[in-house]
Structure 1
Amino acid sequence: MTQELPADFDLPEHDSERPAQPVLAVVGRPNVGKSTLVNRIIGRREAVVQDVPGVTRDRVAYDALWNGRRFTLVDTGGWTPDAKGMQASISAQAETAMATADAILLVVDGQVGATSVDEAVARTLRRSDRPVLLCATKVDDARGLGEIAALWRLGLGEPHPVSGLHGRGSGDLLDAVLEVLPESPRDDVDLEGGPRRVALVGKPNVGKSSLLNQLTGETRAVVDATAGTTTDPVDSLVEIDGEVWQLVDTAGLRRKVHQASGMEYYASLRTKGAIEAAEVTVLLLDASEPISEQDLRVATQVVESGRALVLAMNKWDLVDDDRRDAMKRELERALVRFPWVERVNISAKTGRSVRKLAPAMRTALENWDRRIPTGQLNQWLADIVAATPPPVRGGKQPKILYATQAQSRPPTFVLFTSGFLEASYRRFLERKLRETFELKGTPIQINVRVREKRKKS
């Protein structure tokens, strides 16, 4: 992917895109209004909200800004003690959020008051070494304030009444949040560490849940011949080829989000979020069927999100020789935009070659993380330009002055030039860059900055 950069574009002085921010974890039992409150704090409707418990089932991080200070807000699924089954997984996500947070916001339903679950959560939080704030939601007017005083008995200090829906009291709450949040995150918190995050995506009924179950050796996800069985991401820590990975099985992506409704709509949003939260995406295709526009749309979405990509051709046990020949021709046509994608032929049902996914994911991630030294990059560029200079445009031949890698994940390069570079020449440079440095499995971006000539005074 390439694009023009403004003339006043400045490269970052270091690798990180933004300074580290303190983290606030929002926790509480199911359906108390956490996601509504999160939307109010971040000022936009991003967290999925529905008037049934359990809509949020994984941790989602958002950037927040209040009074000139930035912090990261982590929305979690409902937290309950002694949880079992799926609820245990949700609770584990919330506990992880608390362990990696700099401060914790416990949310209770101001209309219901403190339940036995809230009291159990509060007992756990009182033992935490993190600052804890107490927030009572759904307090839409002064009539609800009378019940709030009873929340002092939770032992977490003053309860802050808030209406996530209308915004009442949210400013006072955020002022209190800034008082307990440190200026920078704790030194022992490593939000980037841990197992590499993998999203399993594809259209409905392509075999994503079957693959997850095959990798884990147990039934982690519901498998059914009916398309659309999975509506939420299912997080699983899976050991593949001696390494632990965090896999997220997602709902099948629909053709367009606006064509879905109800939980299908939320499933589409969650799948998008899973791709953006992942580091590498495994896109499953049904090898027994022709590649569809929907498959290519999903691949495009992954690439536009800047994530590493592995293509898993599933149901390979159902493919005969004729179908293999047809598949080869389809791939050549369909993947002309993504010739760099790692491909593995598997059968999620029988387990055939599923262990080959790990080496493909490692290769894709290594290249996604890759940084090319500036000296090496410019020596390569000088050789390429000497052999094949940029085409003349408007009677002048643009010069490429130098190049640098602005960032990784995905590798992003900036070319400083004296004039516009044709799109065909940019694609040529990308192809040569991949050939030389073997950047397989990852999208790359080549941005162009045209240097304006200084006017003589």
Structure 2
Amino acid sequence: MTTGEYDDAGWIEAELADMEISTDEEEHEAVALPVLAVVGRPNVGKSTLVNRIIGRREAVVEDVPGVTRDRVTYDATWRGRRFTVVDTGGWDPDATGMNLRIAEQAQIAVELADVILFVVDAVVGATDADEIVGGVLRSSGKPVILAANKVDNQQMELEATSLWSLGLGEPYPVSALHGRSSGDLLDVVLEALPETPKQTFGEAKGPHRVALLGKPNVGKSSLLNKLAGEERVLVDPMAGTTRDPVDELIDLGGTTWRFVDTAGIRRRDRELQGADFYAAMRTRAALEKAEVAIVLIDASEPLTEQDLRIIGLVIESGRAMVVAFNKWDLVDEDRRYYLEREIDRQLVRTPWALRVNISAKTGRHMDRLVPAIEKALDSWSTRVPTARLNAFLTELVQQTPPPVRGGKQPKILFATQASTEPPKFVLFTSGWLEDTYRRFIERRIREEFGFAGSPIEVTMKIREKRKGGQAPKK
């Protein structure tokens, strides 16, 4: 770029010193943690107890049976030891329909767990359903810890002793709502769990996190099940089946990925109530923790305001993005014609998003999804060498100078990439660059260096000079 005066160089140097530019690459390493499955009848307080165990309110809680429908995993730490907690839907042996499938998911969680935490409502006492579930747990051969929940006082502790009748050993009284004796219960859990690695900070990021987003009933859960090769999450024609973000570790081509199936994002959050409102909050939190988002769109229907809003949400989050047009098996020639025009008209601001056409139901073109994710992630973490960036911009400005503003033509004195994930570029300028010119620079940066599937940000630091050429003090 332009060499500039000495005070320009000093100003740029001072600004760079204030910017935290990280070039260290962190390794992605998967750590296998022991699993604690939390099971029990509907509405006995499992999700409340899960929130108590993990120390934060993540599991959706509502005083209505059936709020938790899938197996939902959370990372937990107690006394410096890490483990995974699986919250399950209510396990009712007499369930039918959707409730039966929820119970089946709970049984799968038991099969995959190292230790089972069986939650019983101590106020109600042992029911016939509890005894049936208890018999299944005894035959599983897994360590089972019996938690007598809703024990809010000493009198209730005495009543909780009746749960010895379940034949699962000592019932441990606890109040998930108030936290009473929860620490004692966790001590028992740690003794039963296999030895876990000590908690570390910043040493490993784990498998890449991929968030599945889309409006309700667009096929997110079907896609997750197809990738996993088995039914990991519930699929039902009724919209809103998924409420909690569901984390699943899936091996694809020798690489482990952490896919997060989220609740469908509806049009306006202020219209949501109860569990749906909190589910929307969890979806946004899942996106913030992810590195790349797959936005599913129903290709057989016209693009909607919801679709565009979800894409905008991903852009605002700064995450890499792949747009997957699902249900491609339902798209005929006429629909393809109109879809292309809808994309040209409504997605004109996001031409960088990678696009794949898939069918989660039939498996069509599923092999194209992972390469697109990998390409988006690679773009998201790409760093352009400073010398190469400035050489490119010098040539670009010579060919197409910035527009004159206020009778003066601003100069780009220097440029650097301040960060990755997402890539952010900073232009040190002598004056204001018009928005249209900055968008032009962004477009040309993409043409030169790629960044397919990743948002990039181009900002300015303006050097305002005083009369006499003196630099203003910071």
What TM-score results when the alignment is normalised by the length of structure 1? Answer: 0.66
Find out whether 1:336 has 2:336 as its counterpart.
no
- Contiguous gaps of at least 5 residues in structure 2: 1-14, 94-99, 465-470
Say which is worse superposed, 431-440 or 228-237, in terms of deviation: 228-237
Task: Give the aligned partner of residue 467 of structure 2.
Answer: none
Match of 2:87 in 1: 77
How many pairs does the alignment contain? 424
TM-score norm. by structure 2 comes to 0.64
Structure 1 portions without partners, runs of 5+ = 127-132
Helix, strand or coil at the partner of 1:28: strand
For 1:364 and 1:328, the matched residues in 2 are separated by 22
Structure-2 separation of matches of 1:371 and 1:454: 34
Verify: 1:431 aligned to 2:440, yes or no: no
1:408-444 CA-to-partner distances (Å, cap 9, x unmatched) read 3xx3335273677644444334323322221112233
Q: Conserved in 1, the CA contact under 8 Å of 2:50 and 2:85?
A: yes
Moved more, 296-305 or 39-48: 39-48
The separation in 2 between residues aligned to 1:318 and 1:351, in whole angstroms, is 13
- 1:383 matched to 2:397: no
C-alpha separation in 2, matches of 1:223 and 1:429: 44
AA partner of residue 381 (structure 1): N
What is the CA–CA distance in structure 2 between the aligned matches of 1:269 and 1:239, rounded to whole Å? 28
Aligned 8 A contact 1:314 1:347 in 2: yes
* Deviations 1:16-60 (CA, angstroms, capped at 9, x unpaired): 69xx99x99765323553532455677764331123256163445
Change (3 A) 1:108 1:290: closer
For residue 340 of structure 1, report the CA deviation from its aligned partner: 0.8
Give 1 or 2 for the bigger CA radius of gyration.
2
Q: Deviations over 1:290-321 (max 9, x none)?
A: 21111111212233344332222334455455
Q: Displacement of 1:192 after TM fit?
A: 1.0
Tell me the CA shift for residue 455 of structure 1.
Answer: 3.7
Note closer, same or farther for the CA distance 1:165–1:270 as it changes in structure 2 (3 Å cut): same
Q: Is the 8 A contact 1:110 1:147 kept in 2?
A: no
2:241 match: 230
Residue 199 of structure 2 is aligned to residue 185 of structure 1: yes
Contact conserved, 1:54 with 1:78, CA < 8 A, in 2?
no
State the Cα RMSD in Å: 5.6
Cα drift, residue 341 of structure 1: 1.2
- 2:38 is the alignment partner of 1:28: yes
Distance in 2 between residues matched to 1:392 and 1:105, nearest whole Å: 70
CA contact (8 A) 1:341 1:442 kept: yes
Instruction: Report the identity percentage.
Output: 43
CA contact (8 A) 1:314 1:346 kept: yes
Q: Give the structure 2 partner of residue 403 of structure 1.
A: 416
CA contact (8 A) 1:59 1:94 kept: no
CA distance in 2, matches of 1:380, 1:341: 23
Bigger mean CA deviation after superposition, 251-260 or 334-343: 251-260
Q: Deviations over 1:169-197 (max 9, x none)?
A: 6789899999x99995279x97613xx55
- Cα distance between partner residues in 2 of 1:449 and 1:146: 68
8 Å Cα contact 1:32-1:107 kept in structure 2: no
Greater alpha carbon shift after TM alignment, 393-402 vs 276-285: 393-402
Q: Match for residue 10 of structure 2?
A: none
Quote the Cα distance in structure 2 between the aligned partners of 1:63 and 1:235: 14
Would you say the 8 A contact 2:110–2:116 is kept in 1? no
Q: More deviation in 35-44 or 116-125?
A: 116-125
Equivalent residues of 2:402, 2:410 under 8 A apart: yes
**Is 1:417 aligned to 2:431, yes or no?**
no
SS at match of 2:39: coil
Which string of whole-angstrom CA distances, capped at 9 and with x for unpartnered residues, describes residues 187-227 of structure 1? 9x97613xx55444333344445555666677776666x55
In structure 2, what is the equivalent of residue 57 of structure 1? 70
* Cα distance in 1 between the residues matched to 2:217 and 2:25: 40
2:314 aligned residue: 302
Residue 177 and residue 88 in structure 1: after superposition, are their counterparts in 2 closer, same or farther (change >3 A)?
A: closer
Which residues of 2 match residues 88-99 of structure 1 at below 5 A? 89-90=105-106
- Alpha-carbon shift at residue 399 of structure 1 (Å): 4.8
Counterpart code for 1:28: V
Deviates more, 1:308-317 or 1:209-218: 209-218
In the TM superposition, residue 403 of structure 1 has moved relative to its aligned partner by 1.9
